[in-house]
Structure 1
Amino acid sequence: MVRTGFLLHELDKLPGYHGNDGYYKYCVLFQPKNTQLNNAVLVHRPFTNLQKAKGKEGVLDQHEKHVYHKYAVCDYKTAKESSVNPEHHVDAMLSNEWKELYKKNLEILKSVIDAIVFCGKQNITLRGRRDDRSSSNSNTGNFLSILNLLATHDPVLKCHHESGKRENQINISESFIDFVNLDRTTGEAIADAILKSLTDNGYTYQNLRGQGYDGASAMSSSRTGINGRIMQVAPYAIYSHCQSHLLNLSIASSCKLPAVQNMIGSLNGVFLFFSNSPKCQSLFEKVLDQSDDYKGNEKKLLSLCKTRWVERHDCFNTFHELYIPTVTTLEVIFSPHEFTDIIGNEDWSWDSDTRTKARGLFSTMKSFEFVTAFYATKQTLYAIRPIAVKLQRSDLDCYEAYNMVDSTISEIKDLRDSLDTKFSQWFAESSKLTEAVGGSVARPHTAQRQIHRSNAPAQTTEEYFRINLAAPLVDHLLSEMDTRFNHESRTAATLFEVIPKLILENHDLKNLAEKLLYWENDLPSPLSLTDELNHWKKSFFYSGPVADKSYRMYKAVQSRHLPQHL
């Protein structure tokens, strides 16, 4: 009989098979966790029939093929190595590693805190001017600039700073290949030009593993577009639509509501009125300087960017901040005699066309329908802004991006569920702003048959705008986000399931292996994929914090000396 109470250095003295009562010592010592194997021969009960021991169908040979036996042998070797060389034990290595990491991070944290405290004492901002902090050519702000300066005299901080820059860019390179003049812009012509260019430059297009274009049919169509034609010769070149572009399309489509479209058109008209006239802008700044209520730093309205909706949200914020001074300036232009306290004895004469435009824009900005559409759109798109900013980053992890998309969709759903309460707050703020510029809170005139705006019946003004404006806007945005970012359209999302954090939660690795066999030709050992996934998962059971981003898996593979294709 194999004894279970013994020291690790006695393992070699125990036979794998002993007398007429046979046990495998590895499987006895490191028994499988599967409760269905509680009565397994050679593990929980002895093997006694020697006639069935050897041969192709022999019990011993069959037992050695079981996965739990292979795991037990691996665990035995690991335990033996840890006993002979305790300094190589995972716990010991992790303990020392964590101590060094703690010491290093403490030094880095002190520098970070010093930079923050310095900015606070000097009353200067932390942030920079760009959304994308990965560019070394942009002004990244006071905080990061101070850290960069400290890093020049602090080796630990410098190493941390440089490794952070490299972490997200591991194994990724981007190179310009060719510039091709196109006689035609059909999907077939562009696809042929791409494949010819790749061949001429020495690339094998069968090795393509991805394509990225916008959503135009000539580009994205799986039948006649570039996407479909290239996949006919390179079946693994999976098409992926730019996620930031998808977000812009979702927002643009949801803003086709007539009231919202009219508001955006008027907003752009106000911007152009001041932007195209230095004289109007000069008067605007004079009004701001003499305003006792305005305490902000903005002096100009922002344009509505046609491609980046994060810029549009900045426009909404600036416009909201400057709303009352803007209305005041428009009124000064067409009624200067009523504002001698602002213009004094200066000659601010205007031509009739400018006065007429100013009066029209003034009337629009006093309209409660315009104010409500503006405020409701601004608040609805507020949930989109964080992801709109982050999707512009060049170093964004794909898995992280999809998680942010899901989080944003969930936030919009929460907004829709609580819209009655939320819109009451929006309505109150819109009413306050309208009254501040001399307008009146009222719903527009409704006709029995209306084609240019929503006309659902309502008992109150608040109910009218909630039903005809806010609810359709949020519903349309949610529908667009759900449709464009559905899980079926997520390119190669199966690969995310091998991220350590996710694979630890996966209880069906066989199914995962079957899905990953889509890339069978890229795998060095497709038949052993399930075993490798099991090995990969098991290596994280007791390893402490695990990687939760796709780009961090590279280091995890290196640290465990695992095959690079895992």
Structure 2
Amino acid sequence: MKRHSATTKQRSLASYFKKVRTDEADGEEPPPSKDKTSPSSALVESQARPNFCSDSGECTGLYESPENEHKQDTHAPPGNDGGRSATPSDLCSTVNAGQSDAFTTGQCPRKVSGMAPTHSGSPPLCATSASIFDLGLFVSKSNNVNDPETMEKLLLNPWTPPANYDYPATGKRNLKFQPPWVDRYPWLVYSEKLQGALCKYCVVFASECAGKGEHQRLGCFVAKEFTNYKKAMDAFKSHASSSYHAMSTTLSENFLAVRSRSQHDILTQLDHSLKKQAEENRKNLLPIIETILFCGRQEVPLRGTDDSGPINMSEVLSFKNGGNFRALLRMRAKHGDAALRAHMKTSPANALYTNPKIQNELITLCGKIIQRKIVENVNSGSCFSVLADEATDISRTAHISLWVWYVGHDTSGVPILKEDFVDFVPVYDLTGKALASTILNSLRGHGFDLNLLCGQGHDGAASMSGHLNGVQAFIRQTAPKALYVHCSAHSLNLALFHACKLPSIHNCLGTVSSTCTFVRASPQRTNQLQDKVEDLTQEKRKSVLSFCQTRWVESHDALQHFLELYVPIVQFLEYLEEEAASSDTSSKASQLLNAITKPEFVVLLQICSDLFSLTLPLCKFLQKIDCDLAQACDHVKNVIDVLSTKRASAETEFNKIFLKSLSLLKITNVEMALPRITGRQMQRSNVPSATPEEYCRRNVYLPLLADFENQLRDRFDAHKKVVVGLNMLLPKFCASASLFDIDDAVQFYLGDIPSANVIEAEFTLWVNKCCQIEEKNRPACALQALEMCNRDFFPNIHSLLSILATLPVSTSTPERTFSTLRRLKSYLRNHMNIDRLTGLALLSIHRELQVTPEQVLTEFCKLPRRKNFLV
């Protein structure tokens, strides 16, 4: 129902009443109303003049509205139009003619003016105290009220005729309204304005139409007065049983309850209902999120062959596999989680929140929470480096594993180096430009500040390391200070690989690899070797390891195992050569036995073991997270110095190796002898030598050391150039350094240091502080230097040391994520989308970063069409 603004009406009434009282005080006639027949005019007149009579002499108190012009005033005096209601101007002129005392004395204006009413039997309105709350005033749709106070007044205290009120007769039988009807029907109200009965509930709350389709307009008691008193009782009962009256009664009761504060209003009730529903939804979703977090942390596959629809809570399980996620929810519901059990049983299928789409949304949100924490940590620092490596998954899709390397702090505030996995990014174009664009777009998309990018670490492939069209070149076009550092672990592996290209070393390692593969290819042969080991030695190692050509840490372990089990391996091959049932097995065993029992092979085996033992600590160190580039270069220099020392004292060093070889050959009953030498040897080293020891030293040992030393110098020279100048800030070296030594680094990072104009004085103070530390206790790494460097006192030095610590050392950590990739995206789950894959990988890798179900739920509520979770 259309309602007019009660506030507007009240302002009109108040202003008009004030105007009338002011005019009366000044003796002026108030201006006539512009709309002589509008209900608003009648309301204004009724409020301005509480008691007045009609021109006919009958006290009515209010003017007729246009809707009731059919009720003509039959008592109108001569000179008035029989059908016209009295206008405000008529009354104002009458009042101004000498009846102004009517408003101060409370008497009827006609009595003041001496005009006698024509209806002597009808009591004057001044005696009945007519009010503006006559319900008939609000029947007109143009005058309906929506002011709560007025509505409350109409429902509780509408105008009612006094006890001595003379109700007008209607019809041929002159029937009148009976006051006892009001006691029997509390909703019944008599309107003097309309001179008929109305329903106070329906006038206030009923709509204009009712019935099916709301096409039938309402009549008596609602839109017009009821005066057919002959059929009053039937009409009262019929109205009381109508649906629109029942609805109006309910609305009235609720309205009055709200006004009396015994009940909340409908908006509050709806709000409470929505909040209750949202709280229930959140409560139901929390165990689902907890299960997803559990599966993600433990790398447990979630999905199965049938993971849609309601979860079967009965004891009889389906023959189809619903997946671990649904099985965990079922187990949780059956063993104590009553709320989850109720949710699974009573919630509709579209509100279970267990389908794969919801899983993907929740897993993605878990990943985004972790990524947001990483971005906040990185952007709060002063610099970071990006690490990237590429691999192909089970579905033959190439992915870039994206990591960031930066300086963080532990719980006690001590600086630590952190490597954080950020994303798996699928790539379809493996050119340097496309890969660089993918990396930069991913960093921007996650919110990293590229102005802080100071380094990049990749492998040595041409598409990554090329100085013209490689990834590192294109990244430096966007971030010029992002220095490229070739992975140090790769550099060491390449140095070893090229050094071992000597034919004799290469053949020795190939023989070891073939023997290990021969043993491990058959479980029967593996068990036979273990029996030989138990019979001959007390070694804890019972079998050989596979030989890896690229991961030299594993190659060292495989070589060490082979050397320790050399004697059992020889006897094992002798046994197979004579007792093997298969001719292929016996012939292969005979070939391997002949190769590994040569004296030259045993010596080469000892040489390789000695060399790998020297590089093993360096190889492990370069794969650590907390090592910086300055430390890596320092350890490489240490290995180079040891190699130089071994070359200088080659006779003494090699004699130790040769004696170990002799003892091993003695156990296997093999005599040491010089290899066959011809006058013209083209396929192997043929340096003149008098003894087997001299031959092996000159032809194998010294060339191997020299080649490996040169490879280390060449491959790590670029690393030293990157840190030149910055490493002179380390306390271990700065005592002998000058400002000139760090000038190139200062000029290169001029825009990254806070106050370059005071760098000279700051460096002098820093050197003085470092010199006060005992020389053997001076830090040699950037992290230790940062710990003793006060950022407020040495802002420039602190920034440069942070850059030094942030320059990447290796990409071995990104390579480890490919193991996670293979575990998550296996042949059983080879169609996993990238968002789900990244989210699960983040949960698996970043176990130290806490993700609570409440955090995930909060993010889930922010998604579109998830307002039913907002409290």
TM-score range, shorter chain: 0.5 to 0.7
Q: Is contact 1:231–1:237 with CA below 8 Å preserved after alignment?
A: yes
Shift of residue 534, structure 1, vs aligned partner: 1.5
**Residue type at the aligned position of 1:524:** P
Shift of residue 171, structure 1, vs aligned partner: 5.9
Q: Does 1:297 align with 2:540?
A: yes
Partner in structure 2 of residue 325 of structure 1: 568
Partner in structure 1 of residue 811 of structure 2: none
Partner in structure 1 of residue 790 of structure 2: 558
Partner in structure 2 of residue 375 of structure 1: 606
Q: Is contact 1:391–1:401 with CA below 8 Å preserved after alignment?
A: yes
Specify the SS of the correspondent of 2:779.
coil
Question: In structure 2, do the counterparts of structure 1 residues 464 and 189 end up closer, same or farther at CA, with 3 Å as the change threshold?
Answer: same
Partner in structure 2 of residue 362 of structure 1: 593
Partner in structure 2 of residue 423 of structure 1: 654
Q: Is contact 1:188–1:226 with CA below 8 Å preserved after alignment?
A: yes
Q: Which residue of 723, 743, 746 maps to 1:516? A: 746
Partner in structure 1 of residue 473 of structure 2: 228
**Residue type at the aligned position of 2:439:** I
Specify the SS of the correspondent of 1:211.
strand
Q: Does 1:529 align with 2:768?
A: no
**Residue type at the aligned position of 1:495:** L
Q: Which residue of 436, 461, 469 maps to 1:216? A: 461
Q: Is contact 2:458–2:487 with CA below 8 Å preserved after alignment?
A: yes
Q: Is contact 1:218–1:226 with CA below 8 Å preserved after alignment?
A: yes
Shift of residue 268, structure 1, vs aligned partner: 0.9
Give the root-mean-square deviation of aligned CA atoms: 2.6
For 1:351 and 1:553, the matched residues in 2 are separated by 65
Q: Does 1:256 align with 2:256?
A: no
Question: In structure 2, do the counterparts of structure 1 residues 528 and 455 end up closer, same or farther at CA, with 3 Å as the change threshold?
Answer: same
Specify the SS of the correspondent of 1:210.
strand
**Residue type at the aligned position of 1:190:** L
Q: Which residue of 476, 480, 487 maps to 1:242? A: 487
For 1:173 and 1:391, the matched residues in 2 are separated by 15
For 2:648 and 2:674, the matched residues in 1 are separated by 24
Shift of residue 431, structure 1, vs aligned partner: 2.7
Q: Is contact 1:366–1:438 with CA below 8 Å preserved after alignment?
A: no
Partner in structure 2 of residue 432 of structure 1: 663
Q: Is contact 2:458–2:486 with CA below 8 Å preserved after alignment?
A: yes
Q: Is contact 1:168–1:551 with CA below 8 Å preserved after alignment?
A: no
**Residue type at the aligned position of 1:286:** D
For 2:710 and 2:452, the matched residues in 1 are separated by 37
Structure with max Cα Rg: 2
Partner in structure 2 of residue 144 of structure 1: none
Partner in structure 1 of residue 642 of structure 2: 411
1:372-431 C-alpha deviation (Å, 9 max, x unpaired)? 211122123322122122222222243322221111110011111111222223223223
Partner in structure 2 of residue 549 of structure 1: 781
Question: In structure 2, do the counterparts of structure 1 residues 509 and 166 end up closer, same or farther at CA, with 3 Å as the change threshold?
Answer: farther
1:28-61 C-alpha deviation (Å, 9 max, x unpaired)? xxxxxxxxxxxxxxxxxxxxxxxxxxxxxxxxxx
For 1:235 and 1:435, the matched residues in 2 are separated by 62
Q: Does 1:387 align with 2:632?
A: no
Query: Where does the alignment leave 5 or more consecutive residues of structure 1 unmatched?
Result: 1-136, 138-162, 337-348
Shift of residue 169, structure 1, vs aligned partner: 7.2
Q: Which residue of 515, 522, 533 maps to 1:270? A: 515
Question: In structure 2, do the counterparts of structure 1 residues 301 and 500 end up closer, same or farther at CA, with 3 Å as the change threshold?
Answer: same
Specify the SS of the correspondent of 1:384.
helix
Question: In structure 2, do the counterparts of structure 1 residues 421 and 173 end up closer, same or farther at CA, with 3 Å as the change threshold?
Answer: closer
For 2:799 and 2:720, the matched residues in 1 are separated by 25
For 2:692 and 2:736, the matched residues in 1 are separated by 51
Shift of residue 279, structure 1, vs aligned partner: 1.2
Partner in structure 2 of residue 40 of structure 1: none
**Residue type at the aligned position of 1:547:** P
In the TM superposition, what are the counterparts of 1:17-36 in structure 2 within 5 Å?
none
For 2:560 and 2:582, the matched residues in 1 are separated by 31
Shift of residue 520, structure 1, vs aligned partner: 0.3
Shift of residue 526, structure 1, vs aligned partner: 1.5
Partner in structure 2 of residue 465 of structure 1: 696
For 1:172 and 1:189, the matched residues in 2 are separated by 29
**Residue type at the aligned position of 2:714:** T
**Structure with more strand by fraction:** 2
Shift of residue 476, structure 1, vs aligned partner: 0.9
Question: In structure 2, do the counterparts of structure 1 residues 381 and 289 end up closer, same or farther at CA, with 3 Å as the change threshold?
Answer: closer
Partner in structure 1 of residue 711 of structure 2: 480
Question: In structure 2, do the counterparts of structure 1 residues 181 and 334 end up closer, same or farther at CA, with 3 Å as the change threshold?
Answer: same
Q: Is contact 1:412–1:478 with CA below 8 Å preserved after alignment?
A: yes
Misfit runs of 4+, over 6 Å: 163-169
For 2:412 and 2:500, the matched residues in 1 are separated by 38
Question: In structure 2, do the counterparts of structure 1 residues 379 and 559 end up closer, same or farther at CA, with 3 Å as the change threshold?
Answer: same
Shift of residue 264, structure 1, vs aligned partner: 0.8
Shift of residue 316, structure 1, vs aligned partner: 2.0
Specify the SS of the correspondent of 2:627.
coil
In the TM superposition, what are the counterparts of 1:50-129 in structure 2 within 5 Å?
none
**Residue type at the aligned position of 2:723:** A
Question: In structure 2, do the counterparts of structure 1 residues 167 and 382 end up closer, same or farther at CA, with 3 Å as the change threshold?
Answer: farther
**Residue type at the aligned position of 1:553:** A
Shift of residue 196, structure 1, vs aligned partner: 2.7
Q: Which residue of 288, 292, 313 maps to 2:556? A: 313
Question: In structure 2, do the counterparts of structure 1 residues 514 and 409 end up closer, same or farther at CA, with 3 Å as the change threshold?
Answer: closer
**Residue type at the aligned position of 2:468:** R
Q: Is contact 2:433–2:474 with CA below 8 Å preserved after alignment?
A: yes
**Residue type at the aligned position of 2:742:** L
Q: Is contact 1:258–1:453 with CA below 8 Å preserved after alignment?
A: yes
Specify the SS of the correspondent of 1:212.
strand
Q: How many pairs were matched up?
A: 390
Specify the SS of the correspondent of 1:454.
coil
For 2:786 and 2:762, the matched residues in 1 are separated by 16
Shift of residue 437, structure 1, vs aligned partner: 1.5
Q: Does 1:192 align with 2:437?
A: yes
Partner in structure 1 of residue 732 of structure 2: 501
- Structure 1 window deviating more from structure 2 (404-413 vs 455-464): it is 455-464
Partner in structure 2 of residue 44 of structure 1: none
**Residue type at the aligned position of 1:528:** V
For 1:385 and 1:276, the matched residues in 2 are separated by 28
Shift of residue 261, structure 1, vs aligned partner: 0.9
1:272-308 C-alpha deviation (Å, 9 max, x unpaired)? 11111111121112222222xx222110112222332
Shift of residue 173, structure 1, vs aligned partner: 4.2
For 2:412 and 2:673, the matched residues in 1 are separated by 56
Shift of residue 172, structure 1, vs aligned partner: 4.3
For 1:553 and 1:166, the matched residues in 2 are separated by 19
**Residue type at the aligned position of 2:760:** T
For 2:761 and 2:427, the matched residues in 1 are separated by 49
1:529-549 C-alpha deviation (Å, 9 max, x unpaired)? 112211222334446654332
For 1:491 and 1:265, the matched residues in 2 are separated by 37
Higher relative contact order (CA 8 A, sep 6+): 2
Shift of residue 211, structure 1, vs aligned partner: 0.7
For 1:203 and 1:546, the matched residues in 2 are separated by 35
1:94-124 C-alpha deviation (Å, 9 max, x unpaired)? xxxxxxxxxxxxxxxxxxxxxxxxxxxxxxx
Shift of residue 206, structure 1, vs aligned partner: 4.2
**Residue type at the aligned position of 1:179:** F
